[in-house]
Every structure is written in structure tokens, then in C-alpha cells.
Amino acid sequence: MKSVSFTLAVLLLSSPAVAGGSYDGKWAVQLVTEKGDCDRSLSWDVGVAADRIADGGVFVKTSGVVDPHGRVTLTVMQGSDRVSASGKLSGAAGSGAWTSPTRACSGRWLASKRA
């Protein structure tokens, strides 16, 4: 189940560099699985650019945004696997929930902005 958790962590707050938005920058993201057989906890440093969340890998399709109020919405597709995440960034921190109905896993994510 490492691939679903890894994919979500990398894509949750990653994007190519484009004109800036209020949540742009590098973020430390931690995923915690609360239900199912996915990795229990995973952490990465990732980034946001122009409040957009974009595909970070060749075989993954993503769609998502960080809106001006910090609300995060994201869908990640890898083959037949789907992961959905939502939550909120506020200042230099954020949190939310994620679920993978195709893998029967779910949990929460936490983020903190790096200086």
C-alpha cells in the first residue's frame, strides 16, 4: 500500500513553478493512516506554486487546488486507484483528511510551511 500513500504525500502539496499564490512555498507534509492497510505514517517536504496542485509523476493524474481561503481539494488517480484529500491551510500550518476507496484506507494529513 506504500504507492497510494507515497503518491498522495508527494502530490498533496506539489506543483511546477508558476506565478505565486498566498500558500506558495515549501511544506512539510505528514500522512497518518487511521483505517486500512496503508503505511501508518509518511512524511515529505513538498511545494505549492500559484495555489495549484499538479501532477508530480509520469503515471499519475491529479486535479486539485488550494483556494484563496486555504481550502485544499485534491483527487489523485494512478491506474484504477483513487485517492481524495481535502482540508485547510492557514498561515504556516494545515490539516485535513484523505481517503482511498479503492484501497479501503483513510486518514489525516498535517502540513507545516518551511522557512
pLDDT at site 49: 78
Identify the burial level of 91 via C-beta atoms within 10 angstroms of its C-beta, where 0-12 means exposed, 13-18 middle and 19 or more buried.
Answer: exposed
Separation between Cα atoms, residue 100 and residue 21, nearest integer Å = 28
pTM of the predicted model as reported, rounded to 2 decimal places: 0.74
**pLDDT-based confidence at 95, cuts 50/70/90?**
very high
CA angle 102, 104, 110 (to 5 degrees): 105
pLDDT at site 10: 47
As a whole-number percent, the residues of the chain with pLDDT over 70 amount to 70
Tell me the residue range of the domain where 45 lies.
Answer: 2-113
Per residue in 9-59, pLDDT tens?
544 444 333 345 688 877 777 889 999 988 888 777 666 778 876 555 545
**Residue from 34, 42, 36, 37 nearest 107 by CA:** 34
The enclosing domain of 33 has a CATH number of 2.40.128
The full length of the chain comes to 115
What is the number of structural domains in the chain? Answer: 1
